[in-house]
């Protein structure tokens, strides 16, 4: 929550105060005027389709205590806002993104008692964040990133919406370009953090996996000692190919301790055993060097979440909390919508909805889930294109097609344009028969062709980047 005066906000952000207000600032920051309420700060972004500056008065009428413009405000509009008791500010450089980040840093600095936990990585960020939110939330008052609000706007909104009595903040940090995570880390100042892995997401923007690793490692730049003075700690997978670069090139020079997780006896949290049930859910036994061990069955399918579990438990341990209570809370986590969410269609087919996003590594992990789950009918994969892969896109789509062909599927459905052609061609090259391959151009085609033939006992994976729109296919199949 923001409990600052206009003067303090101006000092923290460099904004210009155009008009003082009579209302107390004591609420969240919002970027949608419809979400404005008593005491809130409405920040007016100029979007692709909507200019938030057109809604300053609307936000004030909703109860906003302050509005922040990103362009010149007409004198009569300032007068109207002032008559409503609302303060009017203009963001420095008309940069509302930077305004939010600076304001979040000011609020974070006002709460040195908060234990802030940061999560970044190419794949598994959201699952790890949800595990941490459950594990810490079972033992401390915890506030976590909602949904996927993990960018340069979402991260400060998370910090600024933390309730006054929060003890732990779990913040997810995503990025598209180098330099973004360092700005977010400076705003939230995590004491504990983890990097789930370094994959190929955004390789089209960053050029190489090493550049992606360096961008993820920026999280250490803003890390601070924990409340009470315990050193900042970064958890990493010991087997990661960029783990030495991150640990030795970034973490240790910044005074950040490194904790390793994995399957080695030397790891701080170790996977001692792992078995998958007929639903593909992992039963895991974990062990730590202090003699502790515990077991849990994860509520989501696949082996990939086991790596997320190891990182989450390492941070719980470093925070001095109860690991058994953490495992119990993680076991009771609800499914996350569109992320390996298994649902049954009216046809009787089970649909593994993983349509939220995709990268080559997560495509492979989801195909592994499809292959590992019990199935009395056909195993079907409906795959769409992946975004932000740049010059590597054709090659990486080919890898996914080849991997899918090797999984012994009864039917591989590939939806999309030229990159989908790359997947289909690679699948054929790997020996997938034409009878088992269905190449379709659009989601509507997929619904029309595949939807009616799904039957009792079938197991269907739906996976693509969000832009591919395969969530529409899932909804259509579930509504039949």
Binding residues: 121-127
Question: What is the structure's pLDDT at 205?
Answer: 76
Q: What is the mean pLDDT of residues 150-175?
A: 97
How far is the CA of 427 from the CAs of 62, 254, 401, 430, 454, in angstroms? 55, 46, 5, 5, 22
Nearest CA to 353 among 333, 382, 396? 382
Question: What is the structure's pLDDT at 474?
Answer: 96
Q: What is the mean pLDDT of residues 145-173?
A: 96
* pTM (two decimals): 0.86
For 406-426, how does the pLDDT look when each residue is reduced to its tens digit (9 = 90+)?
999 999 999 999 999 999 999
Question: What is the structure's pLDDT at 302?
Answer: 87
For 354-367, how does the pLDDT look when each residue is reduced to its tens digit (9 = 90+)?
998 898 989 999 99
- Would you place residue 337 in the very low, low, confident or very high pLDDT band (cuts 50, 70, 90)? low
Distance from C-alpha of 1 to C-alpha of 22, rounded to nearest angstrom: 19
- Would you place residue 204 in the very low, low, confident or very high pLDDT band (cuts 50, 70, 90)? confident
Q: What is the mean pLDDT of residues 301-330?
A: 96
- Residue 133: pLDDT over 80: yes
Binding residues for ATP: 121-127
Longest C-alpha distance within the chain, in Å? 73
CB count in 10 Å sphere of residue 138: 18
Q: What is the mean pLDDT of residues 308-312?
A: 97
Q: What is the mean pLDDT of residues 42-59?
A: 95
């Amino acid at each position: 929550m923001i409990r600052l005066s206009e003067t303090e906000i101006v000092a923290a952000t460099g904004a210009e105060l155009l008009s003082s207000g009579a209302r107390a600032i004591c609420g969240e920051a919002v970027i949608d005027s419809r979400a404005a309420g008593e005491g809130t700060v409405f920040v007016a972004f100029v979007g692709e389709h909507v200019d938030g500056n057109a809604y300053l008065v609307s936000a004030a009428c909703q109860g906003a205590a302050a509005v922040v413009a990103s362009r010149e405000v007409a004198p009569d509009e300032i007068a109207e806002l002032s008559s409503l008791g609302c303060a009017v500010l203009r963001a420095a450089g008309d940069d509302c993104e930077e305004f939010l980040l600076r304001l979040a840093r000011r609020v974070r600095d006002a709460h040195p008692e908060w234990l802030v936990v940061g999560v970044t990585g190419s794949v598994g960020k959201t699952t790890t964040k949800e595990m941490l939110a459950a594990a810490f939330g079972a033992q401390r008052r915890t506030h976590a990133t909602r949904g996927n609000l993990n960018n340069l706007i979402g991260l400060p909104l998370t910090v600024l919406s933390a309730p006054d009595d929060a003890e732990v903040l779990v913040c997810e940090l995503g990025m598209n370009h180098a330099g973004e995570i360092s700005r977010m880390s400076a705003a939230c100042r995590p004491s504990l953090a983890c990097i789930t892995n370094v994959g190929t997401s955004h390789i089209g923007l960053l050029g190489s996996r090493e550049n992606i690793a360096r961008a993820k490692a920026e999280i250490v730049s803003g890390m601070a000692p924990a409340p009470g003075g315990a050193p900042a700690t970064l958890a990493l997978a010991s087997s990661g190919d960029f783990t030495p670069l991150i640990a030795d090139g970034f973490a240790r020079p910044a005074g950040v301790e490194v904790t390793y997780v994995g399957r080695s006896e030397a790891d701080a949290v170790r996977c001692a055993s792992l078995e998958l049930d007929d639903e593909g859910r992992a039963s895991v036994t974990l062990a730590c060097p202090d003699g502790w061990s515990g077991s849990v069955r994860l509520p989501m399918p696949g082996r990939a979440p086991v790596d997320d579990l190891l990182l989450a438990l390492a941070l719980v341990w470093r925070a001095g909390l109860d690991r058994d209570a953490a495992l119990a809370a993680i076991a009771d986590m609800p499914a996350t919508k569109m992320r390996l969410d298994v649902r049954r269609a009216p046809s009787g087919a089970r649909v593994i909805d993983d349509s939220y996003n995709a990268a080559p590594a997560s495509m492979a992990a989801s195909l592994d889930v499809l292959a590992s789950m019990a199935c009395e009918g056909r195993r079907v994969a409906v795959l769409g294109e992946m975004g932000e892969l740049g010059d590597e896109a054709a090659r990486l789509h080919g890898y996914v097609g080849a991997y899918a062909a090797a999984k012994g599927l009864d039917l591989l459905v590939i939806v999309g344009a030229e990159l989908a052609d790359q997947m289909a061609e690679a699948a054929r090259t790997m020996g997938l028969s034409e009878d088992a391959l269905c190449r379709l151009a659009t989601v509507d085609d997929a619904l029309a062709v595949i939807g009616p033939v799904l039957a009792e006992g079938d197991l269907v994976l739906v996976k693509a980047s969000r832009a591919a729109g395969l969530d529409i296919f899932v909804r259509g199949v579930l509504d039949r």
